[in-house]
Amino acid sequence: MTITPEKLLSDLIKINTVNPPGNETAAAEYLKNLLQAAGVETEIVEPEPGRGTIIARIGQGSKKLLYVSHLDVVPVGGDWDFEPFSGEIKNNVIYGRGALDCKDLTAAQVVAALELLAEGVPLNGELIIAAMADEEKGGNLGADYLINREPGKIKADYAVNEGADQPIPINGKLAYFIQVGEKGTAWCTLKAHGIAGHGSIPTLAENAVVKMARAVSRLHNYRAEVVVVPEVEKLLKSLAELCNLELKSCSADDVDALLEQLPLEKAFVEALRSMTRMTVSPNQIRGGTKTNIVPDYCEADIDIRILPGQDCRYVEKELRMIIGKDIEIEFNQCKAPTFSSAEDPFYLLMEEITSGLTGNDTICLPVISSGSTDSKYLRGAGIPAYGIGLMADGFDQEARSTIHGRNERTDVASLRLKTDFLKELARRYLA
């Protein structure tokens, strides 16, 4: 009997793969044993001891479809109402870290492949499953490593990954989302220099922490220009229509007014807002060595997410207008936004299958993500990648806030919906 997705998810949650340190190989070995017992070709790629990515494949042919997920999870933190690595299944809910990000997707992808194999479904092509290491820390030991060192192992026509928002109810319909793009990153460190002195006579010194505090305050008040990319324009127009709002235009001047009118939950509206502009968030500050010494150095790490047409030169120009010339800017990570077409036949197939599985009262819409997934590496290598966030009708709306938070969980019905979607998508595309 084929393992159920909920049992597989429960088993994966029980394997602690918090990154750092990762320990993904333990989960990869578990999957390898399961898949090999069913006759599936598998291998584990391990750039460093314990940091393994498992790659499995079924079917043969020129078509290639890649299913991507990741095995690592973020640290637990906070006070949970249950053991974070219990993997308990109770009242049709699976509990534990990774239940929604994203061991559920791993379980759904693996079980979909096993069921296709067990049912003898003929595949005119190859289904590749890659459960990656290190996604939560940037992918250097996972997707980035494979794309740069061994790209042939995961080369495919299309990829399906995490990354879409979970569905939201709008006027009696359930809106599902397919992620077609991600904002880029322009992470940087700001460095302020001053003159050290005794804390009892601060006027004889120049306080670098105070200088940085002023700069950070200005960054907090910064308002970026609004940019409406075509994918977001389509999304906003569709949401306005679903909410019965009259939309005269979707220009940059009208976006914020529209967002204020949308009768949707605040978290989703703010996600929409972040899709329409560069975001700048000062998230770490380090400065000073001792209470009675005026600090001569302070630095701050800034999380900046950019849209098409924006790059680090654009970001530096904007920052200079805000913080002036006295503070150094050092870029640590510059990655361009990545997009896949929402008009591609594969995207349309994903829409069709989603509607077929969820009913006539659903609608599918493209979204771009303000965050980052391994899809950026795939798109950068020429593989169109799409993210899903499927959940079954009636799912616990509060569960969405548990991703990277406390009490992470998902329900059995949603997990099985993901499995059915992935199974049907492989069957249809590789027909």
Percent share of the chain, pLDDT over 90:
94
At 330, the amino acid letter reads E
Task: Return the beta strands (E) in 28-99 as ranges.
Answer: 41-45, 53-58, 60-70, 89-90, 93-95
Residue 172 scores a pLDDT above 90:
no
What is the per-residue pLDDT for 362?
Answer: 86
Query: Strand 338-339 and strand 279-287: pairing?
Result: unpaired
**pLDDT surpasses 90 at 287:** yes
Average pLDDT for residues 422-427, to the nearest whole number? 98
pLDDT of 59 higher than 70: yes
Which residues are CB-contacts of 420 (< 8 A; sequence separation ≥ 6)?
A: 112, 357
**pLDDT value at position 118?**
96
Q: Stretch 137-149: mean pLDDT, rounded?
A: 97
pLDDT at 175: 94
* CA atoms of 267 and 261, how far apart (whole Å): 14
Higher pLDDT, 266 or 247: 266
Return the pLDDT at 267.
87
Higher pLDDT residue, 169 or 154? 154
What was the pLDDT predicted at 1?
Answer: 57
How far is Cα 113 from Cα 119, in angstroms, rounded to an integer?
10
pLDDT at 386 (0 to 100):
98
Kindly report, residue by residue over 175-206, the tens digit of the pLDDT. Answer: 999 999 999 999 999 999 999 999 999 999 99
Q: Are 40 and 119 in contact (CB under 8 A)?
A: no
Provide the mean pLDDT of the chain. 96
- Residue 248 predicted with pLDDT over 80: no
Share of the chain above pLDDT 70, in %: 100
**What domains are there in the chain, each with its CATH number?**
5-168+366-429 (3.40.630.10), 185-218+280-321+329-334 (3.30.70.360)
If one compares 361 and 105, the residue with the highest pLDDT of the two is: 105
Q: What is the pLDDT of residue 173?
A: 87
The residue type found at 91 is N
What is the value of pTM for the model shown?
Answer: 0.93
Predicted local distance difference test score (pLDDT) of residue 390: 97
Helices 412-429/103-118 angle, 10° precision: 50
Predicted confidence (pLDDT) at residue 361 exceeds the cutoff of 90: no
Q: Is the pLDDT of residue 111 over 80?
A: yes
Give 269-304 as a DSSP string.
Answer: HHHHHHTTB-EEEEEEEEE-S-TTEE-SEEEEEEEE
Sheet holding 297-306, edge to edge: 279-287, 297-306, 184-193, 328-335
Q: 66-70, 172-176, 193-197, 276-280: which has the minimum mean pLDDT?
A: 172-176
Distance spanning both ends of the chain, measured CA to CA: 25
